[in-house]
Chains A and B, each alone.
Chain A
Amino acid sequence: MDKNGIVLMQRYELGRLLGKGTFAKVYHARSLKTGENVAIKVIDKQKVAKVGLIDQIKREISVMRLVRHPNVVFLHEVMASKTKIYFVMEYVKGGELFDKVSKGKLKEDIARKYFQQLIGAIDYCHSRGVYHRDLKPENLLLDENGDLKISDFGLSALRESRKQDGLLHTTCGTPAYVAPEVICKKGYDGDKADVWSCGVVLYVLLAGFLPFHQKNLVEMYRKIKNGEFRCPNWFPPEVKKLLSRILDPNPNSRIKIEKIMENSWFQKGFKKIETPKSPDSNQIESLISDVQAAFALQPMCYNAFDLISSLSQGFDLSGLFEKEERSESMFTTKKEAREIVSKFEEIATSSERFDLKKSNVGVKMEDRREGRKGQLAIDVEIFEVTKSFHMVEFKKSKGDTMEYKEFCDGELKPSLKDIVWKWQGNNNSNNEKLV
């Protein structure tokens, strides 16, 4: 049925059908407000309810909220009517990665680039407890810049194969990409199963055909369970070795994702994801901070109203919402501003990891290492209430939230112990932990 021109919930104009399956249809659509292109997955509630998947869908929506990565298709919002559920997702233009492969195997460098993006995104999602569990060709898309986008992350309840063309696309029930422990229906770990699937993807990119493919399903199962596959002679030796470690039928001895990322073939030309920022603005920023540092630190003054809106938990309604822990922290201190700054200096130096830049309102800590989403950077602002009563607030300005949390809880907060008067905010557990 043609839905062209239909306006959904007074907000999105539906365009052409992009794909369809048992439970869902995916349409191209455009936001009436912003003009932004999106893909909308329309799910038939009744069909989903019949097979008892509603609860799982709800759980997965909550999980999807945690994932923001340039190589993962972003879920903008969820809407619903009496009979339908709508997932409004980022629209990815370039089609499926495997349409490319079906025209022939990829060059080593290109294959490596996609594999690096795949592994980077999977590692990011795993660090947030999100597993794909069913990585396969139809979920690997390309955007207009030729970068990989993984779709349907965390929506495993709704997965189904869209195409059934045999060779690269999985036919229904053909577990060409599925780890042996999943086939065996033993309990399995999502992370290990995802690693296996990434191995199959890498093989297909370089070979142009599947590692485990047999007309006879029983024979195919047997080969998967035994990890029986052969690499074509054009595979570089490092790849052959890496694949034998990934396509290890024993999930416990299978290579871990961190180890894949340390592999020398993988490492070649590997760029960690950086938050987009032009070098110019960086230079200007450091220039400004140099100029500012030439002047003495002058903390901003805090009046009674600033104090109330920063500190009062009774006036912080975010407490009503089930929320992730905030990536900002605050403490009050009786130390003077220059003592506070020198404490942060001391922490940055002794960590042997951070560079410290001073500004006139506080300091900025910058990680020398590349993290999951580029360098970690922490802004520290100091506010004066009275001469001997300051408020210090720090928050992540760049980098990965989990890495930030690890550093804060593991190193930063414990090291600040001797200048902190009281930790502030809802996070009362911090106080207990640090006292």
Chain B
Amino acid sequence: MLAFVKCFSLKRTKHPPGYEDPQVLASETPFTVNEIEALHNLFKKLSTSIIDDGLIHKEEFLLALFRNSSMQNLFADRVFYMFDRKRNGVIEFGEFVRSLSIFHPHTPEHEKSSFMFKLYDLHGTGFIERHELKKMVGALLGETDLELSEESIDAIVEQTMVEVDTNKDGKIDEEEWKELVAKNPSILKNMTLPYLKEVTLAFPSFVLDSEVDD
């Protein structure tokens, strides 16, 4: 009888592909089961905003960040790419929670640092190269509507390379990156979202359908 009831309730709560059990996710991340249930409410909102299929598409991600689904933005593209661990063009719930967990205030700094390095390593070569850095500075100035001369952009890139590329091979490797972060931890400030600590208060709907046993 119990088995029958269980089977029935499983059928009732049909989840889209990529959904993972909050219990499992909680055991692998700094989140509690309740916090993951609250994140699921956020995920549901994001993943149904354009295509109602329980997966976050690029357009939905851009819509959430910029209120504009056709925004061109290098950094948002890179974040999306990093979240999409399976590289299938969409963010599934499990990927969403695991990636966001890196942004949790309690996550160790080296994990945040390594995530950020990979994000800036645009071509995945294991190095942040000068031309990648220049592309990012250009993209940033474009995004923020700041028009700087070519020389000023070069000056910013050059100054940064001088500061960070300590072995002077024209590219930034992970060791040099770590030294920079150690010297200047505020570079990682985007990698911490204080909101993640109060996600249960921000998305209280989870109290309705929590699956946590009493």
Contact = CB atoms under 8 A, between A and B. Distances in A.
Contacts of B33: 9
A78 B201 contact: yes
Interface string B57-93: 0000000111000000111111100000000000000
B101 interface: no
Given A57-B204, A303-B160, A319 B187 contact: no
A284 B74 CA distance: 45
A410 B25 CA distance: 46
A422 B146 contact: yes
Given A81-B212, A321-B42, A422-B145, A313 B73 contact: yes
Contacts, number: 160
Interface residues of B, number: 61
B201 A422 contact: no
A338 interface: no
Nearest to A431: B145
B202 interface: yes
B184 interface: yes
A313 B65 contact: yes
B143 interface: yes
B137 A82 contact: no
Contact of B66 (A305, A313, A318): A313
A309 B120 CA distance: 11
Given A303-B159, A312-B75, A82 B210 contact: yes
A80 B37 contact: yes
Contacts of A308: 75, 120, 136-137, 140
Interface stretch (A59-67, A100-108, A196-204, A258-266): A59-67
Contacts of A316: 65, 190
Contacts of B140: 307-308, 311-312
Given A9-B32, A306-B186, A314 B201 contact: no
A172 B136 CA distance: 65
A45 interface: yes
Nearest to A421: B146
Nearest to A64: B201
Given A62-B202, A306-B184, A422-B145, A315 B34 contact: no
Interface in A52-76: 54, 57-58, 61-62, 64-65, 75
A346 interface: no
Contact of A318 (B75, B157, B193, B214): B193
Contacts of A389: 148, 152
Contact of B75 (A82, A306, A315, A386): A315
Contacts of A82: 210-214
B6 interface: no
Contacts of B75: 308, 312-315
B202 A78 contact: no
Contact of B212 (A77, A80, A319): A80
A78 B41 CA distance: 15
B206 interface: yes
B202 A80 contact: no
Nearest to B203: A322
Nearest to A425: B144
A422 B144 contact: yes
B156 A304 contact: yes
Give the interface SS of chain A, mostly helix, strand, loop or mixed: mixed
B159 A315 contact: no
A309 B213 contact: no
B65 A61 contact: no
A398 interface: no
The listed residue with most B CB atoms (<10 A of its CB), out of A78, A307, A308, A318, is A308
Interface string A378-398: 000000011001000000000
A309 B188 contact: yes
A79 B214 CA distance: 11
Interface string B76-119: 11110000000000000000000010010000000000000001
Given A62-B202, A304-B157, A305-B187, A9 B212 contact: yes
A305 B172 CA distance: 12
A278 interface: no
Nearest to B128: A305
Interface string B165-204: 0000000000000001000101111100101001111101
A306 B148 CA distance: 17
A84 interface: yes
B42 A320 contact: yes
A317 interface: yes
A429 B122 CA distance: 31
Nearest to A303: B160
Contacts of B76: 313-315
B201 A62 contact: yes
A11 interface: yes
Nearest to A61: B204
Interface in B121-165: 133, 136-137, 140, 143-146, 148, 152, 155-157, 159-160, 163-164
Contacts of B160: 303-305
B193 A304 contact: no
Contacts of B145: 422
A83 interface: yes
Contacts of B64: 319-320
A78 B207 contact: yes
A245 to B, nearest CB: 37
Given A58-B208, A304-B157, 4 more contacts: A61-B207, A81-B210, A311-B140, A311-B143
13 contacts: A9-B33, A77-B201, A78-B201, A80-B37, A80-B212, A81-B214, A303-B156, A305-B187, A314-B74, A314-B77, A315-B76, A315-B78, A317-B103
Closest 3 CB pairs of A and B: A314-B76, A314-B75, A314-B73
Interface of A: 9, 11, 45, 54, 57-58, 61-62, 64-65, 75, 77-85, 301, 303-323, 332, 385-386, 389, 421-422, 424
